[in-house]
Chains A and B, each alone.
Chain A
Amino acid sequence: NAGVTQTPKFQVLKTGQSMTLQCAQDMNHNSMYWYRQDPGMGLRLIYYSASEGTTDKGEVPNGYNVSRLNKREFSLRLESAAPSQTSVYFCASSESGTVTYEQYFGPGTRLTVT
């Protein structure tokens, strides 16, 4: 049981390049999330998916797109990377509608845009 996995762990992009961050969970959770964390900040929600086939914007969605490929996988795409997107990206999942609403986090992807 791996929990939430993310690939890649590290990435360096040049301004204008595109890339996709991958996330997968093996806990059969309905809901998945993408967050970013900047130095000295807490995590901020980029996009989330309540269930397979649905996605919604969070607090900071500009410059990103997402795809909920199936129940297990939720990807985050940067179409044209900008230095302001240098950050650490965390994926999380949860089983919504339960008593606890606990979210489980992946190890993060550290992205630098030059």
Chain B
Amino acid sequence: KQEVTQIPAALSVPEGENLVLNCSFTDSAIYNLQWFRQDPGKGLTSLLLIQSSQREQTSGRLNASLDKSSGRSTLYIAASQPGDSATYLCAVADRGSTLGRLYFGRGTQLTVWP
């Protein structure tokens, strides 16, 4: 069974810092890895999806990398802003299922203070 771990569980930084969120998974047989953002009391917003054949994806100030062989992904947020405060979830779509069943980490709760 796929196990997904996110480190750190919580992070508090001043505005303007560049920061890295980490995600690791136990089985490299995946279709893709997704990073989501979740605001308090809200649903999931998809940020980036990296297919298993890709090494990284970028969207604005966000960059996600994938090292499938080592079972690791990082989400890099440049020049952080208070509006980036949210919980960030990592999920992998497992090849053990024809559907690409998603396994989620517990998330990193990010606070960016002015």
Contact = CB atoms under 8 A, between A and B. Distances in A.
B44 interface: yes
Interface centre among B89, B104, B106 (most CB of A within 10 A): B104
Given A50-B98, A96-B98, A102 B34 contact: yes
Contact of A107 (B4, B34, B43): B43
Interface of A: 31, 33, 40-45, 48, 50, 58, 90, 92, 94, 96-97, 99-108, 110
B14 to A, nearest CB: 25
B51 interface: yes
Given A42-B104, A48-B99, A50-B99, A100 B42 contact: no
A97 B95 CA distance: 11
Given A41-B106, A42-B91, A44-B104, A102 B49 contact: yes
A43 B100 contact: no
Task: Give the interface size bracket for B toward A.
Answer: 20 to 34
A53 to B, nearest CB: 15
A94 B43 contact: no
A92 B44 CA distance: 10
Contacts of A90: 43-44
Interface in B90-114: 91, 93, 98-107
Contact of A105 (B43, B51, B93): B43
Interface in B18-58: 31-32, 34, 36, 41-44, 46, 49, 51
Contacts of A40: 106-107
A101 B89 contact: no
The 4 closest A-B pairs by CB, nearest first: A42-B104, A101-B100, A107-B43, A101-B31
B106 to A, nearest CB: 5
Interface centre among A33, A42, A94, A108 (most CB of B within 10 A): A42
A94 B34 CA distance: 13
Nearest to A58: B101
B89 A42 contact: yes
Given A40-B107, A100-B32, 17 more contacts: A40-B106, A41-B106, A42-B106, A43-B102, A50-B99, A58-B101, A94-B100, A96-B98, A96-B99, A97-B98, A101-B31, A102-B46, A103-B34, A105-B43, A105-B44, A107-B43, A108-B42
